[in-house]
Structure 1
Amino acid sequence: MKRMMMLAVLVATFMTATAQEKKEDVNERMFNAKVRELVYRLNITDEQKTKFVPIYRRYNDEMKAAWGKKQKPEQPKTSEEAATMAKRKMERQQRAQAIRIKYIDELAKVLDPKQVNRFFDVESQIQRKTMMRKHNVQKKGPQKNKPQDRKQLQSAEL
């Protein structure tokens, strides 16, 4: 009986550790994809990239902390709940804005003025696109090319 319990604990520990590693791996891949997109869209040189990535990693981590964990949206039942939810959202937005302001000077040390000016727009577009993809995957599950989608593409090409 003790052996069975020990085995169950070991299996549970292994599964938890594996799940954590997968989450960290996904987060790292997501971060690297965002860096690649920013480098491409802002025309960041290799020399700039070596200085930019550590700054962007700190920025990204602080933004994640400011927004907190994504919670399932709930419909407020009372006006007080609605007001509380609105205030929390605005507080998160204020924290995020303070972080953006904080990083302008750091980015300006690495990027040229045009790149700094575009950084926040491009980063915002990437975030929006990421959130839309996450929402679609959660809502519908991972999408493969469906036969009907291929047919629509083929007919559009003709």
Structure 2
Amino acid sequence: MRHTLLALLACLVAVSGAAQRHGSFSERLFNAKVGEIAYRLTLTDEQVAKFRPIYEQYNKDMIAAWGDDEADAAAKTSAEAAERVKQRMERQQRAQSIRIAYTDRFATVLTPGQLQRFYRVESDIQRRLRQRKSAGRSPRSRR
């Protein structure tokens, strides 16, 4: 199942890229995320049309909330480590507030079952993106 979903995401990125050759990477990634969410939640075309603008704003708000996540680099002192931990927790708190705020908006488009699955699916997509990002920075990829 996991390999199927990864293949679907890769296909969606490729199809999206072909359809929007001049689109930015972030646009293609966003379209792939919407495609995977639509597939995994079995959204109708009408639901996708209503979901997309809400999710687009949600996505922008989440990106703004997380800010520069690269700030989690290794701290040199205990004080720096404590400060970075606090900053990370504040970003998590902002992200959770956004999730709560958007729940009612998503509920206008999604069925109760779809709404319950949405945050799990979205979290899974984000987790896989983080894994790919960190894998791209591994020493092996620098050869």
Q: 2:92 aligns to what?
A: 93
Give the C-alpha shift of residue 79 in structure 1. 1.8
* Aligned counterparts, 1:7-156, within 5 A: 25-71=24-70, 73-139=72-138, 140-141=140-141
Q: 2:8 aligns to what?
A: none
Amino acid at match of 2:141: G
State the SS of the aligned residue for 1:110: coil
Moved over 4 A (4+): none
RMSD of the alignment, in Å?
A: 2.0
Cα distance per residue 1:71-110 (max 9 Å; x no partner)? 1643222221111011000000000000000000000000
Structure 1's 89 and 73: CA in aligned 2 closer, same or farther, altered over 3 A? closer
What 5-or-longer segments of structure 2 have no aligned partner?
Answer: 1-20
TM-score, length-scaled by structure 1: 0.71
State the SS of the aligned residue for 2:24: helix
Query: Partners of 1:46 and 1:138 in 2: how far apart?
Result: 37
TM-score, length-scaled by structure 2: 0.79
State the aligned residue count: 121
What 5-or-longer segments of structure 1 have no aligned partner?
Answer: 1-21, 143-158
Greater Rg, structure 1 or structure 2?
A: 1
Give the structure, 1 or 2, with the largest relative contact order (CA under 8 Å, sep 6 or more): 1
